[in-house]
Amino acid sequence: MDQTEAISKTKEFYETNKIDAERIIFQKIPERLVHLYELLNKPEFCIQINYKECKFDVTTITKLENSVKNYAEGETPHNIIPGQMIISSNKNSKKLFEILKSNITQLIEDNCVLKIWITLLIPKIEDGNNFGVYVQNTVLKLICNSDSAAKTYLKKLSSYYDHRGKLISKVVKYPFIEDYRVAVEEFDEKQNFDVSLILREIYYFNTVLYDVIIKNFEKIKNPRSSNIDCLY
């Protein structure tokens, strides 16, 4: 690739990023705010009522214990159906996680586009009218903060299954200790509570980001030219 082609590709990327960023600002974020508002008004995302108790099937746990014991002794348990040997995940939490993850990943993807867009609009450092540059950096910091929080939320969701699996294994190993069962139920309750809070945080991030960008759109696009006429 020669220099001329490289410059052409760079300009093409710049224009594509600009179009994508403005589509996110004027179309995607408003649509997402409506979508998130509708989600927040559904019963499953209501903090007060979204928890569904995770009950354990004692029969399944007993069969699983017997199966493991028989395998250890070299026997084949013909009376055990494979599906009965599985202690399933909390289906309620799993469903909520999938909804939440799609909204978190969308926020991260959009933030990436917006960060590049604003960064490319920041002019070189020089004396004079720098208020517009200050606005750009303020919005950029806001985007970076929401991006960091979103990635933390994703990490939190991914660790849920590992932590819950360890608790379940203790329930199987010590079925006579009720506290382990209660621990799983409490853990699920906390996670569902956190899901509702995280969804509200995502709604908050989108609302604030949209509000700040719309109010300062011209300063973001033209950080130094907005007041240049006043100098003459």
Output the domain CATH number for residue 150: 1.20.120.180
Q: In angstroms, rounded to a whole number, what is the distance separating the alpha carbons of residues 140 and 123? A: 14
| Residue 49 included in any domain | no
Asked whether the predicted pLDDT for residue 232 surpasses 50, the reply is no
Give the domain range for residue 61: 55-87
Where do runs of H (alpha helix) occur along the chain?
Answer: 3-23, 29-40, 58-72, 91-121, 131-173, 178-215, 217-221
The predicted structure's pLDDT at residue 34:
97
* Amino acid symbol at 9: K
The predicted structure's pLDDT at residue 124:
82
Q: Are residues 123 and 83 in the same domain?
A: no
Residues 86, 88, 152: CA angle, nearest 5 degrees: 130
128: left (phi over 0), alpha (psi -120 to 50) or beta: left
Q: Are residues 152 and 210 in the same domain?
A: yes
The predicted structure's pLDDT at residue 126:
74
| C-alpha distances out from residue 131 to 55, 151, 208, 219, 225, Å | 58, 31, 20, 8, 11
Q: Are residues 72 and 149 in the same domain?
A: no
Q: Are residues 66 and 118 in the same domain?
A: no
Burial-class residue 45 by CB neighbours within 10 Å (0-12, 13-18, 19+).
buried
Confidence of residue 54 (pLDDT cuts 50, 70, 90): very low
| Residue 163 included in any domain | yes
Q: In angstroms, rounded to a whole number, what is the distance separating the alpha carbons of residues 24 and 214? A: 12
| Residue 31 included in any domain | yes
Q: Are residues 118 and 196 in the same domain?
A: yes
Neighbours of 198 (CB within 10 A): 21
Residue 150 has which token pair? 């979103």
Percent of the chain with pLDDT over 70: 78
Q: Are residues 207 and 98 in the same domain?
A: yes
Task: Express each pLDDT in 7-48 by its tens digit.
Answer: 888 889 999 999 999 999 999 999 999 999 999 998 888 766
Q: Are residues 60 and 124 in the same domain?
A: no
- Taking the model in full, what pTM does it have? 0.80
Q: Are residues 167 and 71 in the same domain?
A: no
Confidence of residue 79 (pLDDT cuts 50, 70, 90): low
| Residue 117 included in any domain | yes
| DSSP type of residue 222 | S
Q: Are residues 157 and 209 in the same domain?
A: yes
CB of 226 closer than 8 Å to CB of 132? yes
Placement of tokens 């354990």 in the chain? 56
Q: Are residues 105 and 155 in the same domain?
A: yes
* Amino acid symbol at 73: E
Q: Are residues 130 and 151 in the same domain?
A: yes
Confidence of residue 178 (pLDDT cuts 50, 70, 90): confident
More confident residue, 60 or 99: 99
Asked whether the predicted pLDDT for residue 189 surpasses 70, the reply is yes
Top mean pLDDT of 60-69, 81-90, 165-174, 203-212 is at 203-212
Least confident of 19-28, 49-58, 108-117: 49-58
The predicted structure's pLDDT at residue 228:
43
| Residue 28 included in any domain | yes
| Residue 121 included in any domain | yes
Q: Are residues 10 and 63 in the same domain?
A: no
More confident residue, 8 or 153: 153
Count of domains in the chain?
Answer: 2
| Residue 50 included in any domain | no
| Residue 145 included in any domain | yes
CB of 172 closer than 8 Å to CB of 61? yes
What number of residues does the chain have? 232
